[in-house]
Structure 1
Amino acid sequence: MKIEQTVSAAVAGLELGNTFALDDLLHTVQDRRHRRLRVVELADLDTHDGLCALWLSTDAEDVVLHARSDSALHRQQFVLHELAHMILGHGEGDGCAVGEVLLPNIPPYTRGRLLRRQDLDSETEIAAESLADRLAAGIRGSVFAESRYSEIFG
């Protein structure tokens, strides 16, 4: 399957190993993209509106805005999904002519991503979610290793 191969190559390309901390992943993405990376929770963003997170990209930085959730794992998945789009290079160089008229003060790349978000069954979204799941597994593995989870619970 093409998505599985793409995701496996992306994980290997990060060179983080099988387990890693979220901070390690954030630093790696920031370093590879040669720009600042900020993750910001927006209290007014509501998952009931169908938007859990959003990646905004400018010339100087990437910003991941995410909805509030009582579950730390849920919030992490929101962020990992957006990081996966960055890692996979989704939307690089996209333009959106209609967006230029409707949203003239928002960079073209960001306009294109905003206007495409409703297509959750696309190959791009499936790949991003698959990579986010793999990243979450690596982070979980790191937490279990630090806590000696395996030694205690077998």
Structure 2
Amino acid sequence: MAKSSRHVHQAQRKRSAQLLEICRKRLASLELPETPDIRMLCEHLGRQRGRPIHLIPAAMQAPDPCGLWIAANNADYIVYEANTSKLHQEHIIAHELAHMICCHRGTGELDEATMNQLFPGLGPELLRDIFRRTTYSDVQEEEAEITASLILGRADRCPPERTWTVPPGAVGTAARIERSLKNSPTRAS
């Protein structure tokens, strides 16, 4: 690897580490509940922001984004891909929540076909006003991805009291597996 390329990668890693720390601090300041449910998180953030967050599943076209945050006058709307897995939907919603949490503002416009697909009953002038700012910079996207991952990481944690009891007929097998893992040469110390 060339010397300048190494410096670029080191600078990128340092910037990413700094961004991760900023995202962690921002989430910590929100005092979010420990909930595994993304919809409950939306309700909580809506109460904190003083405006409801509405989730709208929609069949998005392939070249379109998987999700979209619309900040209306009195509410926020998150449009997310309806035709994907629940896990992917939750990631899309968390990513759009992250744009809200990070106070991002878009820098571009959606095409008219996408706007008409999402809201077929609204006129083109109104849709252009609503969707005037819909794309984000690469730094904002990275920040939203990091924040979304942190949000989902909080949601994915199992409560400490959750345990698994070995069924009586499997005690011997479980003990052998445990002994094997303890004696494994690849076991991390």
With normalisation by structure 1, the TM-score equals 0.74
**1:16-46: per-residue Cα shift (whole Å, max 9, x none)?**
26x323244212210222111100111x214
2:164 matched to 1:152? yes
- Bigger radius of gyration, 1 or 2? 2
2:29 matched to 1:8? no
The equivalent position to 1:84 in structure 2, one of 81, 98, 101, is 98
**1:78-120: per-residue Cα shift (whole Å, max 9, x none)?**
10000000011111xx787xx6xx864247574112xx25x5x
Secondary structure, aligned partner of 2:132: helix
User: Aligned residue for 2:55?
Assistant: 39
Letter aligned with residue 56 of structure 1: I
Letter aligned with residue 70 of structure 2: L
Secondary structure, aligned partner of 1:152: coil
User: Aligned residue for 2:5?
Assistant: none
Runs of 4+ displaced beyond 4 Å: none
Counterparts of 1:64 and 1:56, CA distance in 2: 6
The equivalent position to 1:105 in structure 2, one of 116, 120, 126, is 126
User: Aligned residue for 2:71?
Assistant: 57
Cα distance, 1:140–1:106 mapped onto 2, change above 3 Å: same
What is the number of residues matched between the two proteins? 135
Counterparts of 2:72 and 2:25, CA distance in 1: 26
**1:124-143: per-residue Cα shift (whole Å, max 9, x none)?**
000001100010011111xx
Q: Measure how far apart 1:50 and its partner are.
A: 4.1
Q: Considering only aligned residues, what root-mean-square deviation do their CA atoms show, in Å?
A: 2.8
Unaligned runs of at least 5 residues, structure 1:
none
Letter aligned with residue 84 of structure 1: A
Letter aligned with residue 153 of structure 2: A
Counterparts of 1:136 and 1:68, CA distance in 2: 19
Q: Is the 8 A contact 1:37 1:63 kept in 2?
A: yes
Counterparts of 1:28 and 1:107, CA distance in 2: 30
Secondary structure, aligned partner of 1:126: helix
Cα distance, 1:140–1:57 mapped onto 2, change above 3 Å: same
Counterparts of 1:75 and 1:147, CA distance in 2: 28
Percent identical pairs in the alignment equals 21
